[in-house]
Amino acid sequence: MNNLYMRRFLILIFLALFIQATSSAQSSYNSSSKNPEKGLFGKTGRSSGKAKSKKPMSVLKAKKNQEKNEKKLKKAYAKSIEASRKRAYDIQSPEVQTRMKQNQRDTTLKNKEKKKKSRESMKKAGKKYK
């Protein structure tokens, strides 16, 4: 009877060792030799297996040309506005030119004060809700 228990015990130990050996062999098979953490943690966010749809080169080229043209148009528009302002300033009499300069200075100062005031009020509101 004692012999029967001993046989069962040895068979259980043998099975446990056999299962352990096969499971460790499978885990080493799945993991990469370069990156052992890959087998532990699986796929990363980048290698999720989603298919990337690439646009044709003609579409990319057209978008690039469109952006280039828009940039050129904005630059030309800004240049024309600057030229028209300069012309409007140049055709005025000297008294009007000095008055225009002073008005421009006044408006920049007013805008600075408004921005400063709004920043201060935003700080107060931020402190209120902390």
Whole-number average pLDDT of the chain: 81
At 16 the pLDDT is 76
What is the pTM (predicted TM-score) of this model? 0.42
How far separated are the first and last CA of the chain, in Å rounded?
A: 78
At 106 the pLDDT is 97
Please name the residue that has the structure tokens 């990337």: 52
Which two tokens mark 68?
């280039």
* Across 2-22, average pLDDT: 75
Residues 99, 101, 103, 104: what is their CA dihedral angle, to the nearest 10 degrees? 170
CA 80/CA 128 separation, integer angstroms: 47
At 90 the pLDDT is 94
Q: How confident is the model at residue 17 (pLDDT cuts 50, 70, 90)?
A: confident
Domain boundaries, the chain: 2-31, 75-128
At 42 the pLDDT is 61
Which pLDDT tens digit goes with each residue over 23-78?
555 555 554 556 666 666 666 556 556 667 788 999 999 999 999 999 999 999 99
- Whole-angstrom CA distances from 19 to 11, 13, 15, 52 are 12, 10, 6, 41
At 129 the pLDDT is 67
Which pLDDT tens digit goes with each residue over 83-130?
999 999 999 999 999 999 999 999 999 999 999 999 988 887 766 666
List, in order, residues 6 or more apart from 97 with CB less than 8 Å away. 89
At 13 the pLDDT is 83
